């Protein structure tokens, strides 16, 4: 699928390096599709909103170490 403005995606945040706060999956809204194959996201954290101007997509499962700092499409429950 191709990202477009207004789509809901999953963003895996970075967590911290010592593992006290592991990466977690956050709902995010695509606010812009950039020319370099990245997107701008507005992430919906429980404590507030966070804007990210340039985030790469991943095919890795949301929440995995490989998905840290990237977005992916939500899993489908067929």
> Domain spans of the chain?
8-72
| Positive/negative CA dihedral, 11, 59, 39, 74 | negative
Residue 67 neighbours by CB distance under 10 Å? 21
Give Dmax over CA atoms of the chain in angstroms.
Answer: 36
The β-bridge partners of 33 are: 39
Global pTM value = 0.89
Half-sphere exposure of 64 (CA within 13 A, CB side): 8
Give the pLDDT score at 75. 86
Give the pLDDT score at 76. 80
Give the pLDDT score at 58. 97
Give the pLDDT score at 78. 62
Q: Which residues of the chain have pLDDT under 50?
A: none
């Amino acid at each position: 699928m191709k990202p477009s403005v207004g789509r809901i995606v999953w963003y895996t945040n970075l967590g911290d390096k010592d593992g006290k706060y592991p990466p977690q999956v956050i709902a995010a809204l695509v606010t812009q599709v950039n020319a370099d194959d990245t997107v701008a996201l507005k992430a919906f954290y429980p404590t507030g909103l966070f804007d990210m101007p340039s985030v790469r997509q991943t095919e890795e499962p949301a929440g995995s170490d490989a998905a840290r700092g990237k977005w992916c499409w939500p899993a489908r429950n067929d």
